[in-house]
Structure 1
Amino acid sequence: MSFEEKIDTNLYSRQIGTFGFDMMGKLQKLNVLIIGMKSTGIEIAKNLALMGVESIKIFDNDVVQSRDLGVNYFVRASSVGKESIASACLHNLKDLNRNVDIKVINNVNEELVVGNDVVVCCDQNVEVLKNLNRICRANSLGKRIGFIACDTFGMIGSVFVDFGDNFISFDPTGTELKTGIIESITNDKEGLVTLITDGVIDFQTGDYVRFTEIEGMTELNNKEPVQIKVNSKNSFLIGDLSHYTPHTSGGLVTEVRYPKRIEFRSYEDCVLNPSTTGCLYTIDYSLVNRAEQLHWITMGYKHGSGDPKSTLTNAQMMNSNAKSCGVESVDEELFKSFLSQVNFKVPPLASFIGGIVAHEVIKFTGKYHPINQWLYVDFSLPKEMLSGDFSGRGFDERYFDQVSLWGSDLQNKLQNSKIFIVGAGALGCEFLKNFALLGCGSQQEGLLTITDNDRIEVSNISRQFLFRTRHVGLSKSSVACESALEINPSIKVKPLEIRVGEETEDIFDEHFWSSLNVVVNALDNIQARQYVDGRCVWYEKPLVESGTLGTLGNVQVVVPHMTQSYSESQDPPETSIPLCTLKHFPYQVEHTIEWARDVFEGLFTQIPLDIKKIRQNDEVNSSNIDVGVTEIPYERLELISKLLNCTPKNAKEQLLRISSELYNLHFVNNIQQLLNSFPKDHVLSDGQKFWSPPKRPPTPLTFDLSDKIVQLFILSTTKIFASMMNLDLDVVESDILSLRGLPLPEFQPRVLKLSQDKLNVEVQSDTSADSNPLLNEITNSNRTLNAVEFEKDDESNYHIEFIWSASVLRCRNYAIKECNKMKAKLISGKIIPAIATTTAMIGGLVTIEFLKALCYRSLKISHFRNAFACLATPIWLQSEPLPPIPTKDKDYDPVTCGPVRALPPNFTVWNKLIVLIPNGTVKQLIDWIRSKFNIEVIILSAGNLCIYNSFLPQHRNERLNAVITELVERLGKKKIGVRCSHLVIDASCTDSDDVDVVIPTIKFQFR
């Protein structure tokens, strides 16, 4: 059995989508030792357990204290004063993933260290760090062991990485190799390669590439990789090509990625010489030299006795002796801030650092680029948020650290806050965990509401850490809340299984939204994000938005009247594959997978719907055949007839025959038809070759039953058809091999027409055959077929086997590089790559911005931070959010094709016009707008209802005196909710010069 077959692809599918099988195999052989389990340590262990390393050994002999309950979510109150931290969290840690061997150790020595691949030290003293680092670098076995150290001091943290003198990163970026289709190559001294822009991934100067399939300039094919210099977005230079044969057509270019050698230095060497580049990594460019300052302050503290005077003296002395990264003087204000936080641990920083460190551990496999070598962060909260009593008196002792850090006022806000988490997936679990540790919603006025209408699946378990295998099939939000209550029994949580959207506004009504303090999104689609964003803008509630994609993550904070909304700064829409590319001219494996998905829908989902349509047409109108029915091709009706004529007795034989005929249709006859109409030497009327890039001329396949992929296609097709008939057929290889010699329909040429744009091909249907007998047969049959909905995560249903085998066969038709089954599953199932480490890191950043959002009225925009992160390379960037976009006058607006005025000037999405008119009429609202802005109202609309149009005499005569609420109820055919006090109304207006005027949305308060 190969290592790919040993990996649980259902459990780790999203992770494999990020790492690939090769790294997963290495990851599952990784043995890790974690020293220090108070806060960051448990986060690192959790992430590594979820990802499925081979073993984790944990060491922390400190006895559990009450304050540990506020940072370690796997220790319980029953362990306080009785057990070591490591022992107390072992059971819950092991429960995350029973495939991982997790043990508690009672002491650390060289023999123990060398039994591991990576050693992680959390919050350890400097002598322990230096000693363990020496063992990792030089031990009795001569084994290279990765070493990582991390510290958290309140909201300040650091990470140190040392993977030895000669570490090789085989894939520093972890991204897919860039590819492109060549349009032209010049014969110049500086040869210019121009790519077809469709589907191109941007190359960068310094990249190495290899060429294949070039016609004419064949000297470049499979030549040693060459380094490129980018000329434009879709072209690059590759050196002297003046002596090469002229390029005539085609060619592919593929990036070649070389391993990177990285030389790490020991912890001891990096104390006074922290960077060979002269500076440390900065995540926030508004904090110049912050990392360097933190290095000397941290080193001063760790090398001193802990008292302020000696710490400052040490920091100043070490800075003076610095071999690199020295600063002019140690910042004493920052020093004071550091000392005020040094003894405290809080959840958001543990989450952030824990995600980063766990990901650094898995980089020891050779994938991605490790941190080089220090990372410092300072997320200290603004002084405006720090107030009240800092002693911790009056609070549960579990909150001691956070109250000591930021004071009683913020803690009271946290415990009395009403928070809405939208989504209980991976991010939702992280947010709920952090909020539970912080005590959010634990007092009388507080409440944590979380909604998610999904059920737990096996694939969720590897990153949505509040769920276990025993929870599969249960409600995400309910189980998440139950798990959060185990972390902190005092919080008040309300799980809902309701989708947030227009259809549930009677539940998530104005009373609900108005009661909230902060909204936190944990959604996975743009449409839902935009809806929640719109609600937050309307009700003026702060929103913390975030997302992850593999090793990438981002955070956006949306603050009323201060920042842009999410919808003002959204990502560009996803690109789609043109239909002609999908059906006839694929050139990437993604095209073949989407084609297979389309065939799946046509065969297994649409055929039962076609049967229903035919029979409904007969019931409604037996004399006239509906147009939709006549559009069903004759060949499809034949297939439906064959399926309906299958009986349990002959089903296996018949379905195997049908599956073989479908193979012959898709991979033989249809390809022959395309080549018959457009031979490989076909030339268009303008002299261009028809089969020029990106088109790839196909080749028909043979019906080779010895081929395992051909067998899989026939097997999966047969099994899915059988499931449509509620049959469980036992199909073995000998059944498939018995099809040898089966007579298959021969190719019958048809006419293919090329559209005027020369991109689309239309198949002329067979109109000679009479469909009526088949339609009558289908109508009169008493058999039915069940529609099959594509399900990617059920290994027994053969859906992915069908998609993969069909994709591979089509790749062979078009000479496209094939993919493995997992990639076919990821693409066809639209699976978003996801891993625990990114989720934990983003969870920490979101929690930090959430704390600020609770206090936004006393803060400035400069206090907030949006963030982007890539754990692979690695990159962290924080920046101040952008202000909301003002609506301005325009001399020319492309929508109205004329000038537009904005009233009031520079209003934003956060502004609204509040109009209070109990039982107000249309005329009263129009008069209010006229008197406010001296403009005329042309149209009034409430949602998708037009309640007044001045161009319509009927509206002027009948609606001006109508009560607006009654008019909306009549037009919308729905009563306004009893808890609703306002309507949202938009007005289209003009001024006295007939210039269009835009005004803010109106909040029409009718009670």
Structure 2
Amino acid sequence: MDTSNNAGGTGGNSDEVLDKNLYSLQMFLVVLTDTSRSAQLRIAAWTRAHNRRILIADARGVFSYIFNDFGNDFRVDDATGEQVREFFIEHIDRTTGEVTTLENLYHGLEDGDHVTFSEVKGLDGINGCDPIKITVTNASKFNIGDFASSFPDYIEGGRCKQVKVPTSVSHLPFEKSLKEPEFCIWDFAKFEHAAQLHSLWTALYAFEEKHGRSPLPRSSDDVILLKSLLPEGSEEIPDKLIEMFSFSAAGNLVTVSSVVGGIAAQEAMKAVTHHMTPLKQWLHLDHVEALPGDWTTFDNAKLLESDCQPRQSRYDGQAAVFGWPYQECLFRQRWFIVGAGAIGCELLKNLAMMGVACGEGGLIKITDMDQIEISNLNRQFLFRRRDVGGKKSECAARAVTAFNSDVRIEALAERVGIETEHIFNDDFFGELNGVANALDNVDARRYMDRRCVYFRLPLLESGTMGTKGNTQVVYPYLTESYSSSVDPPEKEIPVCTLKNFPNEIQHTIQWAREQFETFFAQPGEMANKFLADERGFNDHLSKLATGQQIEILQKVKDALIDGRPSSGEDCIHWA
């Protein structure tokens, strides 16, 4: 990236330098941040010409965006990254092609997904078929078209399994996409914001190239200058949005950078692994709701230029957006973080970088009784290999003080619960301004929710599951509490529960069935298909994702070569 930025200078041979530097590094993916529009255009043109991929991201104040161009016909091996769906069948109508799940269970499929069948009685020829493209009728029914129209009638039973089939997407080059953008919508309540922000970013880059600086915070003159640089033909943009964008343009918020950086990193992984569908192609984000309103003494609309003047401080970028009175209040905040895992590390890093508890009277308390394991290191970024075996809370506290020595932090290693209320007592909660949960179980979340309700404390609740995440802000007298709503019980058994902790009768039954299928049925079926029709087997295999191909071939190899019994005793031992 340093090479890219240096190459984006204004020297007479800049294009030659750019081509030489990028090509010599054999860059497969180029990621640009904090780069001028002219450099973006030049580097994006280079990536297209050399069949490379490019990802561009930028953030100013409460606004940010991500753009990607992965070229034409970019292969996607797994469109969603979700677990493969599998369920029992109640009926298949061979005439209409309609398939109904057992007990009207939610199938979770989408139009364009592919499925195959097994254990179906009747409809001879449907078991083990090539992947069939489906259309969804409703939550418990989908249609396979006329695929089974020539088969005998359906009798009973059967299982349906989703098959991940590679697809492709095509992107426009950056220069063309600027004029003909395709947007992913960040907030459907502000559907028109994407196009408006697209024009504002273009005007901002033009402003910076013309004046050599960003618009100044709270400067009405710079708002007028920015508005004059909006592209011709832009749709009408509300003056309030232009003002917020201009006032925020000199700001730099760690929280916004974390969000857009996380999304951009996931897009980079998609470019490299072909796993999950990439953005197509622009994602404009805004967090204007974070700006304090007239319900607080920090009303953003009443800020003056003097409230946001830089002080040669690490917090200048934040004060440019929220003002110094707001920043000084953050210095005095006292917060409790419960959990120091993946979310806890992110929370602690953000609070420390924001300046929370970095002044007189401020304090962050964090607790986690767990010790660091090697498997934690891929996502809990405050830890290093040397920390393995240490307490998470203590190592996390030590890590954040290394990059902000002003933060005042106290690390605990106690579980929150009824048995530790002599530690987390009335005096403990009475001196807090808020609580941030980073827990991995519902019982602990509900306990902390009850404590926050009792002590009338704000609670920031969050959680993740694979590539999904959720957040909930609980504020006394304004919102419902975490425990106020309960998700309906799932009809399906979660895969993680089934594989790692089957703790109910239905779990163990399903677990045993899955194990039997995995060890006895599937390898034999795959091997028989290979022996019966090698060409057809290979044709079927070529339609699957790379990971599924490897899995199936390994099963065939194990059945026919590595684990093949050579005697009756071997057969008994294998069984």
Q: For the superposition of Structure 1 and Structure 2, which TM-score range results when normalised by the shorter chain?
A: 0.7 to 0.9
Normalised to the residue count of structure 2, the TM-score between the two structures is: 0.78
Match of 2:228 among 313, 324, 330: 313
**Distance (Å, rounded) in 2 between the aligned partners of 1:208 and 1:584:** 24
- Does structure 2 retain, via aligned residues, the 8 Å contact 1:296–1:319? no
Match 2:196 to one of 293, 306, 311: 293
Query: Which one of 32, 37, 42 corresponds to residue 126 of structure 1?
Result: 37
Counterpart pick for 2:205 among 302, 305, 308: 302
1:481 aligns with 2:385: no
* Structure 2 residue corresponding to 1:179, chosen from 67, 86, 90: 86
**Equivalent pair of 2:87/2:161 in contact (CA under 8 Å):** yes
Alpha-carbon spacing, 1:507–1:708, altered in 2? closer, same or farther (3 Å):
farther
Q: Quick one: distance in 2 between partners of 1:312 and 1:416?
A: 38
Report the equivalent of 2:536. none
Q: What's the secondary structure of 2:189's corresponding residue?
A: coil
Which residue identity is paired with 2:163?
A: V
Equivalent residues in 2 for 1:329-728, closer than 5 Å: 329-364=236-271, 365-380=273-288, 381-384=291-294, 385=298, 386=300, 390-391=306-307, 397-573=313-489, 579=505, 582=508, 586-589=512-515
SS at match of 2:122: coil
Does the 8 Å contact 1:179/1:200 carry over to 2?
Answer: no
The corresponding residue for 2:58 is 151
Which whole-Å CA distance do the structure 2 matches of 1:310 and 1:705 have between them?
72
Describe the shift of the 1:213–1:108 C-alpha distance in structure 2 as closer, same or farther (beyond 3 A).
Answer: farther
Range moving further from structure 2, 236-245 or 548-557 = 236-245
State how far apart, in whole Å, the 2-side matches of 1:361 and 1:487 are: 26
Distance apart, 1:313 and its partner CA: 2.0
Unaligned runs of 5+ in 2: 9-15, 216-221, 494-501, 520-557
> What secondary structure sits across from 1:398 in the alignment?
coil
Is 1:112 aligned to 2:112, yes or no?
Answer: no
| Residues 416/60 of structure 1: CA separation in 2 closer, same or farther (3 Å cut) | farther
Query: d(CA) in 2 for partners of 1:377 and 1:527?
Result: 34
- Partners of 2:353 and 2:6 in 1: CA distance: 20
In structure 1, how many angstroms separate the alpha carbons of the residues matched to 2:7 and 2:321?
A: 25
- Give the secondary structure class of the aligned counterpart of 1:448: strand
Which blocks of at least 5 consecutive residues in structure 1 are unaligned?
1-33, 36-56, 63-106, 321-325, 594-703, 712-736, 745-808, 814-1007
Shift of 1:383: 3.8
**Does the residue aligned with 1:588 lie in a helix, a strand or coil?**
helix
Q: Where in structure 2 are the equivalents of 1:929-968 lying within 5 Å?
A: none
**2:152 matches 1:236:** no
What is the correspondence of 1:769-788 to structure 2 with a 5 Å cutoff?
none
Q: Contact 2:4 / 2:18 at 8 angstroms: preserved in 1?
A: no
Take 2:149 and 2:402, find their aligned partners in 1: how far apart are those partners? 72
- TM-fit CA distance, 1:229: 3.7
SS at match of 1:361: helix
| Aligned amino acid, residue 99 of structure 2 | V
TM-score (norm 1): 0.46
8 Å contact from structure 2 (residues 184, 279) kept in 1: no
Other structure's SS at 1:567 match: helix
Residue 216 in structure 1 maps to residue 216 in structure 2: no
Show the counterpart of 2:540.
none
- What is the CA-CA distance between 1:474 and the residue it aligns to? 0.6
CA distance in 2, matches of 1:544, 1:537: 12
RMSD: 3.3
Question: Per-residue deviation at 1:456?
Answer: 0.7
Q: Distance in 1 between matches of 2:389 and 2:52?
A: 41
Kept after mapping to 2: 8 A contact 1:160/1:374? yes
Offset at 1:500? 0.8
Give the deviation of 1:504 after TM superposition: 0.8
Instruction: Measure how far apart 1:243 and its partner are.
Output: 4.4
8 Å contact kept, 1:113–1:136: no
Which amino acid letter does the alignment assign opposite residue 135 of structure 1?
Answer: W
Contact 1:181 1:252 in 2 (8 A): yes
- Choose which of 82, 93, 98 in structure 2 pairs with 1:192: 98
1:283 paired with 2:194, answer no
Map 1:15-94 onto structure 2 (within 5 A): 34-35=1-2
Q: 1:224 to 1:352 in 2, by over 3 A?
A: same
Percent identical across equivalent pairs? Answer: 32
Q: Quote the offset at 1:256 in angstroms.
A: 3.1
Q: Structure 1 pair 497/262, CA: closer, same or farther in 2 (3 Å)?
A: same
Identify if the C-alpha distance between structure 1 residues 474 and 591 changes in structure 2 by more than 3 Å, giving closer, same or farther: farther
Amino acid in the other structure paired with 1:501: G
Per-residue displacement from partner, 1:790-839 (whole Å, max 9, x unpaired)? xxxxxxxxxxxxxxxxxxx8xxx7xxxxxxxxxxxxxxxxxxxxxxxxxx
Aligned match for 2:131, one of 211, 225, 243: 225
Residues 689-729 of structure 1 deviation map (CA, whole Å, 9 limit, x = unaligned): xxxxxxxxxxxxxxx99997799xxxxxxxxxxxxxxxxxx
Question: In the TM superposition, what is the alpha-carbon distance from 1:350 to its structure 2 partner?
Answer: 0.8
* Displacement of 1:228: 3.0
Residue type of the alignment partner of 1:233: A
State the one-letter code of the partner of 1:192.
Answer: E
CA deviations over 1:277-325 (Å, ceiling 9, x no partner) = xxx333223324112111111111213424634432221xx241xxxxx
1:167 is matched with: 74
Are 1:419 and 1:447, in contact at CA under 8 Å, matched by a contact in 2? yes
Corresponding letter in the other structure for 1:413: C
With over 3 angstroms needed to count, the CA separation of the structure-2 counterparts of 1:379 and 1:485, relative to structure 1, is same
Measured after TM superposition, the shift of residue 406 of structure 1 is 0.7
Residue equivalent to 2:527: none
Change (3 A) 1:366 1:250: same
Instruction: Say if 1:586 and 1:538 are closer, same or farther in 2 by CA, change over 3 A.
Output: same
Helix, strand or coil for the counterpart of 2:348? helix
Q: 1:60: how far off?
A: 7.3
Amino acid of the structure 2 residue aligned with 1:404 = A
Deviation at 1:108, TM superposition (A): 6.5
- Aligned letter for 1:273? E
Q: Which amino acid aligns with 1:109?
A: L
Q: 8 Å contact 2:345–2:380 — kept in the other structure?
A: yes
SS of the residue corresponding to residue 161 of structure 2 reads strand
Any idea what the Cα deviations from partners look like across 1:873-895, whole Å, max 9, x if unmatched? Answer: xxxxxxxxxxxxxxxxxxxxxxx
Structure 1 residues 573 and 500: alpha-carbon distance in aligned structure 2, compared to 1, 3 A threshold: farther
Q: CA deviation at 1:515?
A: 1.3
Partner amino acid, structure 2, of 1:337 = M
Paired with 1:584 and 1:273, the residues of 2 have a C-alpha distance of: 51
- CA 1:467–1:579 in structure 2 vs 1: closer, same or farther (change >3 Å)? same
C-alpha change, 1:60 and 1:447, in structure 2 (3 Å) is farther
AA partner of residue 247 (structure 1) = Y
TM-aligned CA deviation for residue 274 of structure 1: 1.4
* Cα distance in 1, alignment partners of residues 282 and 328 from structure 2: 36
CA deviation map 1:302-349 (0-9, x unaligned): 13424634432221xx241xxxxx52x122221121111112211001
Aligned pair count?
A: 494
Report the secondary structure of 2:508's partner residue. helix
